[in-house]
Structure 1
Amino acid sequence: MTRMVPTGIDRRALLKSSVAAGAALTTGVAMPAIAQTRPIKLGYVSPQTGPLAAFAEADNFIIANFKETTKAGIKLGSATLPVEVVVKDSQSNPNRAAQVAKDLIVQDKIDVMLVASTPETTNPVSTQCEIEEVPCISTVAPWQPWFIGRQADPAGGPPAWKNFNYTYHFFWGLEDVIAVFTNMWSQVPTNKSVGGLFPNDGDGNAWGDKQVGFPPVLEKAGYKLTDSGRYQNLTDNFSAQISAFKNANAEIITGVVLPPDFTTFWKQALQQGFRPKVASIGKAILFPVAVEALGKDGNNLSSEVWWSPNHPFKSSLTGTSARELAASYESATKKQWTQPIGFVHALFEVAVDVLKRAPQRDAKAMVGAVAATNLDTVVGKVQWSGANLPPFATKNVAKTPLVGGQWRVKDGNKYDIVITDNRTAPNIPAGGKMEAIG
């Protein structure tokens, strides 16, 4: 005979209560004590393959270091428990990200979800955690695509600005990257004509949004933006965009572009005789390998800098400085440091801090601990205090500092990024001034 679950009863809650009751009956031990003896399980999702793979280049290093740091376990209350990290690859695909998140929750039974790197990964994972009522901490996506991108009204109306109960995010916002970019642009004499490269994805739609993105802020600051329209990622022909920018006499280019797409755009632009004075590009040229792929044509390209060896912060887990962490990565991998190192490390810092303050590992207790976080990490202070945020985002978003930098050739085709504007975060030292692209 088939047993029916009565309507109106949450299946997940029913399953939890049934398991708890069964365990209590068969063991005679209260569930909190059982929970205290099992290993801590952290789920981690990032785009380890596909066009966004550069964001996850340092993952293996960071996770190996974390496992070494916590090999004796983490003390939660009176117990010291082993830690397991279950890693999943989103393959740079939002549908895949949602599926592996569900697998981590349902099959692996993780305690906390950690997720990094662009809205295409952070958003579907966060949404899955919200549905399943599992604490989730995310980073490496501007807060607007993460928060506003998950507010869509199914009926097609305006966002309702609902808060989230289980998902929390730390990073910077579009207001910060716009300030950083315009601060850098002000150092180079230009005609203030800007060409915008905004793809049809979570980042591109947010950056190009006429209400919360670049257009209204640039207009107010006296810039003329030529938005060439949304293009599909992994396109192989940017002639239409280049033609529009040339017709507008754009001396500045900006946008948020996949690494392979910017390589295609920049090579085609130079071939077609279009060389702006400034190119400040999010996402695409965050990584040394992406700039090196351009050879000498990568010199003086600029981008936001969320983390670098020059950031004056230390890890709450190990006491390691930003400079020491970057040097350790370079020594272990023989590769140049990359910006996500700091933020992936900080994800695990926050997770451990939260678990120590919610040793019972009850989901609601843990999200309460996340909300109460006040932690100095290797990327700066992480605190969901609502500072410098609009009222609707204060619960779920914490902001971290942002500066701007420019890539300079140092040895052959090897590049280093020089922080060229720190007005948004004066405690992070600048190393030079902006130069026009030659």
Structure 2
Amino acid sequence: MPQERAVSRREFLKIAGLAGAAVGVGAGMGGLLTACGEEEATTTTTAAPPSTTATTAPASTTTVSAGPEEGRPIKIGVVSPKTGNFSVFAISDDWWIGHAKEALKDGIITGDGKKRMIEIVVKDSQSDSNRAAQVAGDLVQLDKVDILLASGTPDTCNPVSDQGEALGCPVLNSFSPWQALFLGPDGKPLEKKWVFGNMLGSEQTIASFTDAFENSGTQTNKKVGMLFQNDADAQGWMAPNAAPKVFAEKGYTLVVPTYYQVPAEDFTAQISMFKSEGCEIICGTNDPPWFSNFLKQSLQQGFRPKFISSGKALIFPQAVMTYPNNGVGLIGECAWHPAWKIKDTLSDLDSEGLAADYEAKTGQQWTPAIGCYGKFEWAIDVYKRAENPEDKESVLEAIKTTKGTFQQGYMDFTEPVSPDGFHPHPNVYKPYIGAQQWRKGTKYPVEPVQVSNATAPGTPVQDKAQPMVYE
């Protein structure tokens, strides 16, 4: 392979085209609201229904049914990393908000029997935890939202959840590890009143990855080099009941160098340790810019493991295509896939139809970030069941009795809590997480093929994992 220089964070974002822009879905009646600072929040309001008129004519009387009583709108606040290092998680936001606006243009009937419009207020966390906390507070205190939604790593979900807990506002999270939010430093569960998650566990990722390795037909020495930056994701992955437990149960040995600090331009220490220990598998979770640097330097230094896997760095095609050889052969989390064909609860489409709609309206390759739409489906389901949608305590009770299938899989909060199951904490139900391998595509340069459904029950395994091929 030719020598390649390290990629800085700024260069990566420029290459990947992930800088993002403020949501511009269309204002409806809500218009644009200006938040604190320089950011604009986009408010999308579903269209109001036409008024009903009773008309009386000589010799006949026609009465038009009044329909359900109208209640005040439900305002949903969305905090999303539209810009910055984690913008890949928000790349589908404009699309799914537009889809939701169309699907709910006539409003919904909430649990109290009233018809209500839905307003969506979106703010950019800028992939910064301090900013995420600020805008979440603004949404609750200034925009007066009824509920907060967040996705995109602990850098967004954790500070948004902290604000919701402090200000007494329900929060629904996705696309982030549950351990980083619901376990303390001692590994013991934390009690939270207002915060809930359809959140993955690194134990799911490891179970899927190891299932893919072991069913590939490729023999390894089961020595795994764990690559992490020093952040909340690393803490969640390496919690005692997470990666260490799952790997140990399957007979793997972990090699864990010191967590790197960002920005990370030199991985010589980590690569040297992996080589000296004979690691044939790489795993962990990393931000795309630093993972790209690691991959390039591994090739330069002659480190060629049989399998290379990672969490958030290998979910989205926009990131994968910036890696050597377009990322072909790398294994990541399968957090959503058109082949799952899960029915959308707000329209006539399924996962496959949503992917096609996304591609038609954006001109871009479908992305697993479409799965972030699932938390919005969940929120609407909650309000359809809440007996008093204007009372946050009533909304909490509806969240606690959630039972249904949304775009990231089945949820049942009425199941008994089981530390090793899908309901590991009273406030968490895990989504489906499979393993996917990036292959040379037929329609796009690279496409993900699902290679394990170990923790995504009922979803299709499309092929066996294949070992890396180095040129």
- TM-score normalised per structure 1: 0.86
Which residue in 1 is equivalent to 2:285? 256
Secondary structure of 1:197's aligned partner: strand
Amino acid at match of 1:102: G
Q: 4+ residue stretches of structure 1 with deviation over 6 A?
A: none
Deviation at 1:146, TM superposition (A): 2.2
Which residue in 1 is equivalent to 2:430? 399
Alpha carbons 2:334, 2:434 under 8 Å: kept: yes
Q: Give the alignment of 1:391-430 within 5 angstroms.
A: 393-410=424-441, 414-430=445-461
Deviation at 1:295, TM superposition (A): 4.6
Q: Give the alignment of 1:57-96 within 5 angstroms.
A: 57-76=91-110, 77-96=112-131
Deviation at 1:84, TM superposition (A): 1.1
Structure 2 CA distance, aligned partners of 1:234 and 1:412? 34
Amino acid at match of 1:54: V
State the identity %.
39
Which residue in 2 is equivalent to 1:41? 75
Secondary structure of 2:429's aligned partner: strand
Amino acid at match of 1:357: R
- CA-based RMSD of the aligned residues comes to 2.0
Structure 1 CA distance, aligned partners of 2:208 and 2:460? 14
Alpha carbons 2:70, 2:115 under 8 Å: kept: no
Indicate yes or no: 2:231 matched with 1:197: no
Alpha carbons 2:365, 2:444 under 8 Å: kept: no
Structure 2 CA distance, aligned partners of 1:86 and 1:272? 48
Which residue in 1 is equivalent to 2:35? none
Structure 2 CA distance, aligned partners of 1:162 and 1:423? 27
Which residue in 2 is equivalent to 1:107? 142
Alpha carbons 1:299, 1:408 under 8 Å: kept: yes
Deviation track 1:167-222 (CA, whole Å, cap 9, x = no partner) reads: 1101331221111111112122111111111111111122134x233234323322
Alpha carbons 1:296, 1:409 under 8 Å: kept: no
Distance 1:61 1:143, change over 3 A: same
Deviation at 1:335, TM superposition (A): 1.0
Secondary structure of 2:463's aligned partner: coil
Deviation at 1:78, TM superposition (A): 4.0
Secondary structure of 1:139's aligned partner: strand
For structure 2, the residue ranges without an aligned partner over 5 or more in a row are 1-68
Which structure has the highest helix share of the two?
1
Amino acid at match of 2:331: S
Structure 1 CA distance, aligned partners of 2:426 and 2:417? 12
Structure 2 CA distance, aligned partners of 1:369 and 1:229? 44
Structure 2 CA distance, aligned partners of 1:294 and 1:160? 37
Alpha carbons 2:207, 2:455 under 8 Å: kept: yes
Structure 2 CA distance, aligned partners of 1:267 and 1:159? 35
- TM-score normalised per structure 2: 0.80
Structure 1 CA distance, aligned partners of 2:188 and 2:278? 40
Distance 1:280 1:159, change over 3 A: closer
Q: Give the alignment of 1:137-148 within 5 angstroms.
A: 137-148=172-183
More displaced, 288-297 or 92-101? 288-297
Q: How many residues align?
A: 395
More displaced, 219-228 or 367-376? 219-228
Which residue in 1 is equivalent to 2:255? 226
Aligned to 2:154, which of 119, 128, 142?
Answer: 119
Secondary structure of 1:399's aligned partner: coil
Alpha carbons 2:132, 2:160 under 8 Å: kept: yes
Q: Give the alignment of 1:168-247 within 5 angstroms.
A: 168-186=196-214, 187=216, 188-209=218-239, 211-247=240-276
Secondary structure of 2:460's aligned partner: coil
Q: Give the alignment of 1:323-362 within 5 angstroms.
A: 323-342=352-371, 344-358=372-386, 359-362=388-391
Aligned to 2:464, which of 426, 433, 436?
Answer: 433
Aligned to 1:276, which of 287, 290, 305?
Answer: 305
Deviation at 1:242, TM superposition (A): 0.8
Structure 1 CA distance, aligned partners of 2:389 and 2:281? 53
Deviation track 1:86-132 (CA, whole Å, cap 9, x = no partner) reads: 00111111111111000000000001111111111111101110111
Structure 2 CA distance, aligned partners of 1:248 and 1:412? 40
Structure 2 CA distance, aligned partners of 1:145 and 1:321? 31
Structure 1 CA distance, aligned partners of 2:230 and 2:376? 31
